[in-house]
Structure 1
Amino acid sequence: MSQSDQSCPISVDDSFGPWAGNSCRGGFDFTLLFEESILSIPLSCLFLLLLPSRTLHLVKSDIKILSTPLPLLKLAAAVTLLCLNTALVGLWASTPSSTITHTRASVPAAVLTFVVSLGFCLLSWLEHARSIRPSFILNIYLFLSLLLDTARARTLYMLGPYRTIPALFVSTMVIRAVMMVLESVEKRHILLPAHKDRSKDATSGTFNRSVFFWLTSLFIYGYRNILGLHDLYPMDKKLKSERLYKSLEEAWQRVPDKTVAGALFNTWLGACSGPVMSAAIPKLCSIGFTYAQPFLITEAIALASTPKAQRYDNIGYGLIGAYIIVYTGIAISTGQYEWRIYRAASMMRGGIVPCIYNKTLRLDSSAVSSADALTLISTDIDTIVQGIVQLHETWGGLVEIGVAVYLIYRQLGAACAMPVAFSIVVMIGTIFLAIPTGTRQAAWIQASQERVTATSKTLGNMKWLKISGLSDVAFSIIRELRVREMEISRKFRLLLGVSILFSICTPIWGPILTFFTFAGIAAGGSTTLTISKAFTSLSLLVLLNKPLANIIIALPTIAGAMASFQRIQDYLNAKEREDKRLAGDPRETRALPTQKSERSTSEAPILDSWPRGDEHELNELRNHSTCTLNEDVIASVQGSFAWSDDSEPVIDITEWNIRRRTFTLVLGPVGCGKSTLLKSLLGELSSFRGTIRTKYSGVAYSEQTPWLPNRTVRDVIVGHADFDDSWYQKVIKACALEHDMLSWPKGDETTVGTKGISMSGGQKQRLVRRLYLVETQITANVHKVNCEGGVCAEGVCDIRRRFQRP
C-alpha cells in the first residue's frame, strides 16, 4: 500500500472520530484529533493536577538518600526532553492550520506536554532525594504516555512527507523510555542509615509492586530453605500495631456518643479510610478490563467469520495487542485490589485487637473473663476480616450489573429485562436474608464464647476438678454447651444455605430464562440470533452472574461483620474498674488509732448482710485527694468486701494496718478471703463498704494462677530489662532455680511452652517469682512458702497488669 493511499484529508483527522474510516491509513487508525484530545491532553492535565500537592509534600520532607550521580543523569534526561518538547511547540505553532499534521488540539497538547516537562525536572529531583521509593507519579505518567503515544507516533509517520515533527516526536518517546528506566531504579542500597530498616515493599518501585516481584527473593529462599521469622522482611511501619492502635484510640476518644449503633465501625472507617479507599481504584480498573472482554469476543468472531481474501492482518495484530493489554490489566488490577483490601483488613486487626487488650486490662477482674476477649480477638475479628474483604463487592457488584445489563440490551434488546428482573428478585431476597443472618451469626458467636469460656476455666482448674472428682461433671457441661451452640448455629447455617442456593441458581437459570425470553420476542419479529450475538451475550450473562453471586455472599457477610463490630463496641463500652482507694499523703503525720490487725479466719462469711457503715466519714474522705496515715503505716483497711454488688461479703475487717519495714503474712484456710483482701489493696475490688487508704505509688503482685509467656527461661526472667549476669545469678539462687536449670536439657534456653506446659507446678511458681525487675515491695498471695536467703519464693507473678496509685 503506497504512502498516498494511507494519508487522509485534513478534515478527517481534524474530526473527533475516533475511527479514521476505511479509506484512511488502511482502515486501522484513529483520527489525529482524537489521539491528541483523548490520549494526550487528559494525561497531561492529570499530571499537572497532582504536581503541586506532591511537590509540597516532598519539600516538607527531609532528605533520605545518599549523594550519587543518579539524580544528575535523571536531570540531564529531563532537560533533554524539555528541549525536544520546546522544539515541538515551536514547530506546531509555526505550522499552518491547513497542514495535514495540524489539528485544533495540536498546539494545546504540545504546550501542555511542555509544561509537564518543566514540572518533571523539579519533581524528579525532589523524588530522588526525599522519597525512599521510585516515584509512582513519574513512572505511571511515563508508562501511560509511552503506551498511548505509540498510536499517535504511528499516525504521524503515516500522514505523508512531513518527517520533522514525527522524528522529534519519536525522539521524545525514546527519551521518555530512558527516563522511565532511570526513574524505576530502586534506592534501597543508597538509603541513609536511618531508613535502612524500612520494609522491602516500602522501597520497591511501581512496576515491582504491581507484579509483586519484590517477593521473588523470599520465595526462592523459601524454596531452598525452611523459613523462620528472622527470614521475613521487616514489617511496614504503617502496619505496626502501635501506630494503628494510637490513631484508632485517639479517634475513638473523640466520639461524643460511643453507645450509638455502628459507632466503632464508623470510627475505624474514618481512621483507615485511606487504605480502604485505595482498593477502589484497582476495583474499577478490574471492572473496566473485565467488561472489555465481550468486545474482544465480538471482534474476534467477526474477524474469524471474514473470508480470508478480505481479511486485514493489522486488525488481527491489533486484537492480539488488545488481548494482551486486557488480560494483563485484569491480572495486575485484581492482584492490587486483593493486596490492598487484605492490607486494610490487617490494619483493622492491628488497631482493634490492642484496643480490646487495653480494655481488658482496665475492666473489673470480677466481672470479665479472659475468654470473652479471646472470642472477640479470634472469632469476631475473623468475621470482620471477611466483611472487609467483601466491602467493595457491594458497590462494585452494582456497577458491574448496570454495565452488564446495558451491554446485554445492546445485544438482545428487550430480552435484557429477564436478567434484570432475576437480579432484582435475587438482591431483594438477599437483603431480606442479610439482617437475620447477621443476628443469627452474632448469637452463634455468643454461644461459642460461652463454650470457650467454660472450656478455658475447666482446663485452667483441671487439677482441682480431678481432686474433687468433678472433672466428668465439668466435661458434661462443656458437651451440653457444644450441643447448644450447634442448635443455635443451625438457624444461621440454614439462612446461609439459602444464600448459597441463590448464588448457585443464578448462573444456571439466568442464561436459560434470558435466551428463552429472546426466542419468544424474536419469534414475532425479524430479529435473529447470530453466532457473534450468542457468544457475546453468553459471555455477558456469565459476567453478570459473578457480581450477583458476590452481592449474595457479601451482604450477609457484611451484616455479620457489623454484628461483630457491635459486640466489640459493647465490650469497649463496658464498665471499667473503679479504684475506690484513698491515697495517703506521706507528708501528713497525724496519727490514726493503732490497733493490732484484726480479721476473721472462719470459712463462712462474717456478715449475713451489708453493714451501713459510717457513710458520712466515707463521703468526707472521698471529697479529698488525700487522706492521712501514720508515717510507719503504708496501708489501712476497714469495712466489708465482696466480689459483686449482689453477692454476700467475703470478709469483714474492723481495721487492719500494714506497717513499713515489716514482713506481713496473711494466713488462713481455703475460701476465707485472702485473695479478696489482697485484691482490695490493689484497687481491683470495687464492691465494698468501708475505706482503703494507701501510701504507695506502686506494688508488685503475684497471683495463685501461674501465667508465663511462651519464651525461654532467660527471657521470662530478664523480661525487657538489660542483661546483668551477676544480678541474674543472684535472682536464680534466690528463687531456687539452680537445680531446675541443671535438669533442663538446654538450661536457661529451655522454652517454657504455652502456659508453662513444659514445667512442673513448682517450677512454674519459682520461675514466675523471679525478682529481676523488682525494685519495691512485693505483695504476695501466700499459698506455698519457700524462703531461701531471706527472700520468699512463693506465688506466681501476674505480669499482665501494673497497678498504680489511684
Structure 2
Amino acid sequence: MESKVVLTEKNPHEKANVISKLFLTWSFSLFKKGYKQGLSISDLWQARSGDASGRLGDRLEEAWKIEQEEAKKKGAKPSFSKAIVRTFWFEYMMIGLVVGVLFMVVWPLIPFTLALFIEYFSKEKTPESYRQAHIYNFLMNLFSTLSALMLNHTNLAQGRIGMRIRIACCSLIYRKILKLNRAGLNNTEAGQVINLMSNDVNRFDLVTLFLNFIWITPIVVPVVCYLVWQHVGIATLAALAVVGVQTVLVQVYLSHLQGKLRGKIAKRTDQRVKVMSELVDGVQVIKMYAWEEPFEKLVHKLRKMEVGYVLRTSFVKGFTTALAVFTERFILFSAVATFVLIGGNIRAQITFSLVQYFNLMQMICNIFLPMGLAYLAETKVSIKRLEEFLLLEENEPEKITANMVLDSKSLIADGTEKEKKVQEKQRVTGLTISNVTASWTNDSVVDTLRNITINAAPGEFVGVAGGVGSGKSSLLQLILGELMPKSGTVNLGGAKVSYASQEPWLFVATVRENILFGLPYDRIRYKKVVRACALLRDFELLPHGDSTLVGERGISLSGGQRARIGLARACYRKADIYLLDDPLSAVDTHVGKHMVTECVMGLLEKSTRILVTHQLHHLKGADKVVILRHGEVEIQGSFDEVSRTPLFAELLQDEEEEEAAGEHVKMQRSISVRSQASSISPAEGIIGEDLIEQQVEIEEITGTGRVPGKVYSKYFSIGAGCCLLSSTVIAILFAQVITMNNVEAQYVANVPLFRVANDTIIPLNDTLVNATESAVTEGAITSTIGAITTAFLSNDTMETTEAILNATVFDTTIVAPAKINDRYYIYIWAAAIVGCIIATSG
C-alpha cells in the first residue's frame, strides 16, 4: 500500500551550506509559506535519508534479533533497552560529548570572563587594563554566542535522535503485529497497541533531551564549585549543601515517584482505550438494549481512575517546578549570606559572577538532572511495556519447515511477481493434510484439532461444515500457517493461498483500494470480481461508486457489504488455493446463492476452493464435503454421501431453527448511504477518486482560521471555574505588586560596596574613599543580612507564585479535557440510533 500523500519536494537541508545549517535559514521558506497562505501536508518536504522509517526499523530490528540470540545463549530475558542502545549509542554519544563541552567548558567561561571584565572598573585605569577589558568583553560575548548556538543545535540533534528511536519502535511494533500468532493476539488488546503507539513511544522524544545530564552533572558541579571557591572560599559549601539536599534527596525521590505513577497511568489508559473502542463499535447494540446509563457509569469510573493518577503526576511536576524556581535565588542567598558572616569582601565581580555560576548549577542540578531522571523513569516503564509486547508469541519460519511441507515465501500471493515458467506436471498445487494434531496453546488439556486428514486435488471445491466450536476456522488457520501442528504434515505443494476472513475489515481508503489491496489495477479482472461478488448494485447506490471513501473516516457499510468487499479482495488476488471462512453468513439467501454460483463455482472454478459455511444447501455443488465435530473429521465424502448421515441431518435441523428464529426478529436492513442513485456512475466515480478521497480526509483532520475567544473562555471555565480563575488573576496581580514595590531589593542595590574587618566597615567605592571608618555593631550586620534576606525572599515569593500559577494552568489543562470527554460521552449516548449508523467510529 502506498501513502495517499506523496511528498515530491526534497528536503533543502541536504543541499544547505554551513551558514544556512548553522542559523537554520534553510527552513525559512516553509515558515514564510505558512505565514502567507497556510500549510498543507503536500507542502512538507521529504524526510532526510537518515530519518526514513524503513531504514530505522531495519536497524533496530537487527539489533533486537542479536539481543534475542545473545539472551537465548545465556538463558536470560532479552532487554529491549540494550537493543536501543546498540542501535543509537554512537550518534547519541557524539552529541553528548558536545553537550559536555558546552556545560563543562564554554558555559562556565561566561561568568569567568564576566568577573574579569567587571574587575576593570574597580582597578586603576591604565592602557593595559583598558586593552584587557576589551579582550574580556570580546571573549564574554563570543562564549555567550557560542553557547547559544551549541545549546540550540544540541537540543535539535538530541531531539532528532529521540524522534528516530520513536519511529524505529513504531516500525518494529507494526512488523511485530504482522507476525503475531493467535496465542500472541490473545495476550494483547487493541487498546494496548494504540497506547504504545501514541503515548509510550513519545517518551523517547523527551528523555533524549536530558539523559546526557545524568553523567554531565557530576562533572559540572565540581568545576563550578572550584570556580566559585576562588571568589567566596568556604562559603561555597553552603550553596553546595542546598543543591545536594534538593537534588539528591528531593528530586531523586520525585523522579522515582513519577516513574511509578507513569506505569499506573499506562495500565489505566490501556483499559480505558480498550473499553471505549468496544463501546464505540457496539454503540448500536447498547442503544437498542437501553444500556447507556450503566456503560456511562463504567466509562466515568475508568476515566476518573486515570485522571486521578494524572493529577497526582501533575502535582509532582508542579512541585518540582516550584523547587527549581525557588532554588536559584536560595543558592545565591546562602552563599552570599555565609560569605558576609565569615567576613568576606562583597564586590561587584563576585556578585555578578556568582549569579551566573549558580544559575548554571541550578539549571543543571535542579532542572535538567531531575527532568532527565523523571523521564528516564517513565521511559523505563515504556520500554518494559514495549519489551513485553515484542516478546509475544509469533509465527516463526523455522517451525513451519519442521512440521509443514510448504514454501513459506509463496504462502500468501503478492500478485506482483512474475510467474515462473515451470511445466504444469512439475508443479503440485493440491492440498494434503496428513494426520495433523494442533493446539493454540502448548498446555491445553484438549487439542484444537486432532488427527485431521484431508486431501484436495487441484481445482477441487471442498465444503467444510460443523457446529459452533468444531474447529472450522482453526482448520483454515492451520493451512495458513497461523496454527502450528504438533504432529503430522501440511503440504501445499508450493501453492499460493488467498484468504477471506470470517470477520471482514476495511481500512481508510476507497472501496476499490480495499479490493485491490495494493495490487495493480486490472480492469477486466476487477469487473469480473465485482460482478461475481454482487457489488455492482452497491456501487450504483454509493455516493461516488467504488471511489467512495470507507473505513473509520468514510461512510458506514452494512455487514453484507463488508463481507462481499472482503470476498472480492481475496478473489482479486490470483492464487492456487482460496480459503473462504464463512463469507455467506452476513448476506441474504439470494445474494449467497449468486456468490456461490458466480464466484465460488464460476470465477474460481479452476482453483482449489475451501469454503467454510453453516448454510449446508450451498454445498450441493461441492466436490467434497467435510463435517467437523469437536476438532475431528467426523464425515468426509461427496454431498450425497454426507447428506445421508445423522450428523448432517442434525446440522440441517439446527440451521432451520436458526433461520426460523431469525425470521421472527428480523429487521429490514437499510443501506447506510442515501437511497437515491448517485449521478456518478461507477466508471465516472473512479476518475475523480483521488480528489474526492483527499478532500474528505483533509476536511476531517485539519481546519483553518482563528480560534474564537469564547472557546478559550469556555475551556478555562470548564476546567477551572470562576473561583479558581479569580484566584489566579489575584495571584498574578500580587506577583506584579511584589516586583514593583521591592524596596528592600532597591536598598540592597544602593548599599555601598564594603568589606568587614575588626568590626569596621571599609568602603570600597571610589566616591567613598575619603569617608571615615565607622564602627559597626552586630545589629548593623544583622540588619544588612536581613535586608538581603528580605530581598531574596520577596523575589522567591514572586517566582513561587508564578510556579503555583503554572501548576494551576497545568491542572486546568487536565481537568478540562476530562470534563469535555464526559460531555462527549453523554452526547454519544443521547444521539439517535440513526446517527450512530451513519457516523463511523473514526
**TM-score normalized by structure 1?**
0.60
Q: 1:245: Cα distance to partner? A: 1.8
Contact residue 64 and residue 83 of structure 2 kept, 8 A: yes
Q: 1:310: Cα distance to partner? A: 7.6
Match of 1:451 among 272, 276, 280: 272
Match of 2:581 among 763, 781, 792: 781
CA distance in 2, matches of 1:521, 1:774: 91
Contact residue 508 and residue 552 of structure 2 kept, 8 A: yes
1:286-343 deviation line (CA, Å, top 9, x unaligned): 3244323323433453455679998977566546644542333123212210111111
1:183-212 deviation line (CA, Å, top 9, x unaligned): xxxxxxxxxxxxx99643233222221111
User: Would you say 1:269 and 2:85 are equivalent positions?
Assistant: yes
User: Would you say 1:381 and 2:201 are equivalent positions?
Assistant: yes
CA distance in 2, matches of 1:778, 1:465: 36
User: 2:531 maps to what in 1?
Assistant: 733
User: 2:57 maps to what in 1?
Assistant: 245
1:64-84 deviation line (CA, Å, top 9, x unaligned): xxxxxxxxxxxxxxxxxxxxx
User: 1:419 maps to what in 2?
Assistant: 239
User: Would you say 1:482 and 2:303 are equivalent positions?
Assistant: yes
| Aligned residue type for 1:350 | I
Q: What is the aligned-residue RMSD (CA, Å)?
A: 4.0
* 1:539–1:738 Cα change, 3 Å: same
CA distance in 2, matches of 1:379, 1:508: 36
Moved more, 741-750 or 408-417: 741-750
* 1:585–1:264 Cα change, 3 Å: closer
CA distance in 1, matches of 2:387, 2:327: 37
User: 2:71 maps to what in 1?
Assistant: 257
CA distance in 1, matches of 2:78, 2:321: 27
User: 2:150 maps to what in 1?
Assistant: 333
Contact residue 433 and residue 453 of structure 2 kept, 8 A: no
Q: 1:551: Cα distance to partner? A: 0.9
User: Would you say 1:406 and 2:226 are equivalent positions?
Assistant: yes
User: Would you say 1:678 and 2:476 are equivalent positions?
Assistant: yes
User: 1:295 maps to what in 2?
Assistant: 112
Moved more, 385-394 or 415-424: 385-394
1:64-117 deviation line (CA, Å, top 9, x unaligned): xxxxxxxxxxxxxxxxxxxxxxxxxxxxxxxxxxxxxxxxxxxxxxxxxxxxxx
| Aligned residue type for 2:335 | T
Any residues of structure 2 matched to 1:569-584 within 5 Å, and which?
569-577=387-395, 582-583=403-404
Q: 1:260: Cα distance to partner? A: 5.4
Match of 2:181 among 334, 358, 364: 364
* 1:772–1:226 Cα change, 3 Å: farther
* 1:367–1:757 Cα change, 3 Å: farther
User: 2:369 maps to what in 1?
Assistant: 551
* 1:672–1:472 Cα change, 3 Å: farther
User: 1:200 maps to what in 2?
Assistant: 12
| Aligned residue type for 1:240 | A
Q: Structure 2: where are the runs of 5+ without partners? A: 1-7, 408-427, 605-842
CA distance in 1, matches of 2:101, 2:555: 52
User: 1:791 maps to what in 2?
Assistant: 599
* 1:671–1:460 Cα change, 3 Å: farther
Match of 1:718 among 495, 502, 516: 516
Q: Structure 1: where are the runs of 5+ without partners? A: 1-195, 587-629, 795-806
- Secondary structure of the equivalent of 2:148? helix
Q: 1:423: Cα distance to partner? A: 1.8
Any residues of structure 2 matched to 1:697-708 within 5 Å, and which?
697=494, 698-708=496-506
Moved more, 312-321 or 293-302: 312-321
Moved more, 562-571 or 256-265: 256-265
Match of 1:438 among 235, 243, 259: 259
Q: 1:285: Cα distance to partner? A: 4.7
Q: 1:576: Cα distance to partner? A: 2.8
1:357-408 deviation line (CA, Å, top 9, x unaligned): 2222222333332333322222221123322222112223333333322222
User: 2:386 maps to what in 1?
Assistant: 568
Percent of residue pairs identical: 22
Match of 1:767 among 565, 569, 584: 565
Any residues of structure 2 matched to 1:277-316 within 5 Å, and which?
277-287=93-103, 288-303=105-120
- Secondary structure of the equivalent of 1:529? coil
CA distance in 2, matches of 1:378, 1:497: 24
| Aligned residue type for 1:419 | A
Contact residue 503 and residue 552 of structure 1 kept, 8 A: no
User: 1:528 maps to what in 2?
Assistant: 345
User: Would you say 1:503 and 2:324 are equivalent positions?
Assistant: yes
Contact residue 437 and residue 447 of structure 2 kept, 8 A: no
Q: 1:345: Cα distance to partner? A: 0.8
| Aligned residue type for 1:225 | Q
Aligned residues: 553
1:399-436 deviation line (CA, Å, top 9, x unaligned): 33333222221221111101211222223223344445
CA distance in 2, matches of 1:266, 1:230: 37
Moved more, 311-320 or 759-768: 311-320
CA distance in 1, matches of 2:161, 2:32: 27
CA distance in 2, matches of 1:382, 1:241: 16
CA distance in 1, matches of 2:76, 2:323: 33
1:726-756 deviation line (CA, Å, top 9, x unaligned): 3333334334444444444444444334375
- Secondary structure of the equivalent of 2:490? strand
Contact residue 583 and residue 694 of structure 1 kept, 8 A: yes
CA distance in 2, matches of 1:473, 1:216: 54
1:687-741 deviation line (CA, Å, top 9, x unaligned): x887573435442222243433323344333333333333333334334444444
Contact residue 438 and residue 449 of structure 2 kept, 8 A: yes
